[in-house]
């Protein structure tokens, strides 16, 4: 192989690097690119022979005939070709993305990233002498609550849900709550949120636009619709979460801002100085071994569960209905333990 052929092969790979099945590049465009960008003049037959040669070396390089013209592209399952390779930090980043963030990626993006995931794993294997390879063993994500085994989500359902979120089309689902029969819904998917080990699809029902949360693992079947979603006016996912909707609203008082006033054991309240409950939080001395905390918070079931988790180390003073709710719970617990 001559030097000129080798250079031409590298230039062809550069021209083809962004081509995929949905945007193949015709031989005519390849010829123009060689001439205009690299000052390489060559005939059509030579380029075609070069491409056939490269297709025999590099897995995934393919062609399709469009309007009687050969158009070349990389298949989705093509191996990643990086002449300079990934740096150790880049390979590590792809490895961590795959481990911790894949549930939040649309399926089309994951399909595009899969070759990079494979390449990164191979690259880190070859870099065993580099200290950065040990990094995944030095970090972990720990849930602040009791660890539960994540429920299994149907792979097809997860892919379809991510697709409709990306394309903003309506979705038809078969949904089964625990112990209940399967129900069918047509919904407008608005957002996907991971809450602990469970993923929830935020959506509105068609036709009444009622907001609902659908646990992904309870969706038994999903089908993408052609209709575009009906987006609620001024909907913002981050605001929706900040307003307390992911804390669940299971009583008449929930999702309203309240002034929480509670007496905490001093040792249990120390972390509030570093991680306050709210911007207007105030803590004052209450007794020798306790403090009085007040803060404006959103009233959710999550707040109620969180307060119960402190047991005897907290006493809720206000609001009164929340104090009585916890009192009723404590009385019920006392009966179970025959106190």
Give, in words, the CATH class of 3-74: mainly alpha
Candidates 2.60.34, 1.10.3470, 3.40.50, 2.30.30; CATH matching 155-242: 2.30.30
Mean pLDDT of the chain: 87
pLDDT tens-digit profile of 123-147?
Answer: 888 877 778 888 888 877 777 777 7
Threshold 0.75, pTM exceeds = no
d(CA 276, CA 274): 6
Contact by Cβ (8 Å): 158, 173: no
Q: For residue 66, list its beta bridge partners.
A: 69
d(CA 30, CA 18): 13
The whole-number pLDDT of residue 256 equals 79
Q: Which CATH number is 257-336 given?
A: 3.30.70
Question: Both tokens of residue 2?
Answer: 């001559």
Question: Both tokens of residue 265?
Answer: 């054991």
Mean pLDDT of the 227-244 span? 88
Contact by Cβ (8 Å): 214, 175: yes
Domain edges within the chain: 3-74, 88-138, 155-242, 257-336
pLDDT surpasses 90 at 26: yes
The length of the chain in residues reads 339
Angle of helix 27-38 versus helix 3-16 axis, rounded to 10? 110
Q: Which residue has the higher pLDDT, 107 or 69?
A: 69
How big is the chain by its Cα radius of gyration, in Å? 29
> Which has the closest alpha carbon to 186: 150, 217, 226, 235?
226
> Which has the closest alpha carbon to 27: 61, 88, 71, 62?
71
d(CA 156, CA 217): 11
pLDDT tens-digit profile of 144-157?
Answer: 777 778 888 888 89
Mean pLDDT of the 235-262 span? 79
Contacts 24+ apart (CB under 8 A), 330-338: none
Give CA separation, 270 vs 274, 277, 313, in Å.
Answer: 8, 12, 12
């Amino acid at each position: 192989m001559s030097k000129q052929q080798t250079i031409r092969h590298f230039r062809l790979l550069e021209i083809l690097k962004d081509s995929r099945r949905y945007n193949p590049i015709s031989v005519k465009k390849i010829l123009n690119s060689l001439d205009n960008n690299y000052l390489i003049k060559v005939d059509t037959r030579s380029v075609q022979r070069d491409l056939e040669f490269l297709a025999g070396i590099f897995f995934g390089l393919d062609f399709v005939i469009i309007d009687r013209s050969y158009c070349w592209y990389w298949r989705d399952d093509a191996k990643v070709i990086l002449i300079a390779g990934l740096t150790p930090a880049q390979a590590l980043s792809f490895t961590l993305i795959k481990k911790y963030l894949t549930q939040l990626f649309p399926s089309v993006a994951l399909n595009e990233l899969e070759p990079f995931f494979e390449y990164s794993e191979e690259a880190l294997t070859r870099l065993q002498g580099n200290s950065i390879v040990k990094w995944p063993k030095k970090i972990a994500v720990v849930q602040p609550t009791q660890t539960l085994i994540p429920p299994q989500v149907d792979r097809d359902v997860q892919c379809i849900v991510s697709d409709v979120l990306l394309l903003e089309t309506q979705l038809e689902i078969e949904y089964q709550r625990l112990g209940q029969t399967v129900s069918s819904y047509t919904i407008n998917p608005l957002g996907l949120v991971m809450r602990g080990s469970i993923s929830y699809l935020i959506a509105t029902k068609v036709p009444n636009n009622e907001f609902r949360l659908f646990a992904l693992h309870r969706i038994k079947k999903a089908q993408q619709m052609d209709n575009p979603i009906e987006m609620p006016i001024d909907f913002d996912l981050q605001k929706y979460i900040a307003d307390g909707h992911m804390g669940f609203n299971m009583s008449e008082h929930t999702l309203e801002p309240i002034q929480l006033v509670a007496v905490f054991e001093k040792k249990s309240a120390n972390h509030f100085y570093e991680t306050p409950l709210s911007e207007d939080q105030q803590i004052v001395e209450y007794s020798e071994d306790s403090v009085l905390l007040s803060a404006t918070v959103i009233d959710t079931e999550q707040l109620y569960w969180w307060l119960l988790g402190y047991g005897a180390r907290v006493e809720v003073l206000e609001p009164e209905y929340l104090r009585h709710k916890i009192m009723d719970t404590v009385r019920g617990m006392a009966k179970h333990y025959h106190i």
